[in-house]
Amino acid sequence: MERKQFLKTLGASAAFALAFPCLHGCSSDSGDDGEAEGNTPIPTGIDFTLDLDAPENAKLASNDGFVLKNLVVVAKNFEGEFVAASQVCSHEGFAQVRFAPQLEGGIFYCDVHSPGSRFDQKGNPLNQVDSKEPKALKIFKTELTDNMLRVFE
């Protein structure tokens, strides 16, 4: 039996599963190691500076972008303020936290598990993913001097 015939006999959903085995947990916008695995340690000792003129930080020029660095999500909200949080989700430690400026005034979120963890910009949990008590997301301080953004604890 040829491959095409074989896929036809499996049906569309099975063919889809074979063709796209990595829809969840595999990310093309990876910033750091450990993204696809749980129990990643929450970053500690964070103290780094981003040059906002550098091309790799260009997404922070607009009031809705974010960048990933050293397991930290550094974002600029709609008010033009810089906010930073752990890229490691407090639910099960997957480094999949991202920033969604358009949701609820700007939230950090992780969609590894359904329905996904949601946090406000202070790291307070906005929902509960499973029966576990939701934990806060670690937040970092930011300080802008000229075009240099310091992210620290």
Contact by Cβ (8 Å): 61, 54? no
Contact by Cβ (8 Å): 97, 137? yes
Please name the amino acid found at residue 30.
S
Does 110 bind ligand FES (CB under 6 A)? Our answer is yes
- Tell which one of 31, 34, 116, 134 touches ligand FES (CB under 6 A): 116
Token pair, residue 58, equals 């260009």
- Residues in a beta bridge with 85: 73, 139
Does 35 bind ligand FES (CB under 6 A)? Our answer is no
Angle (CA) 115-116-121 rounded to 5° is 135
- Residues in a beta bridge with 109: 98, 118
Closest distance between ligand FES and the C-beta of residue 58, in Å? 27
- Tell which one of 129, 137, 149, 151 touches ligand FES (CB under 6 A): 129
Closest distance between ligand FES and the C-beta of residue 52, in Å? 28
- Tell which one of 40, 77, 87, 117 touches ligand FES (CB under 6 A): 117
The Cα 12–Cα 29 span in angstroms is 28
Closest distance between ligand FES and the C-beta of residue 116, in Å? 5
Please name the amino acid found at residue 4.
K
Closest of 134, 9, 142, 17 to residue 77, by C-alpha:
142
Nearer Cβ to ligand FES (18/103) = 103
Does 112 bind ligand FES (CB under 6 A)? Our answer is yes
Does 60 bind ligand FES (CB under 6 A)? Our answer is no
Give residues in contact with ligand FES (CB under 6 A). 89, 91-92, 94, 96, 110, 112-113, 116-117, 129
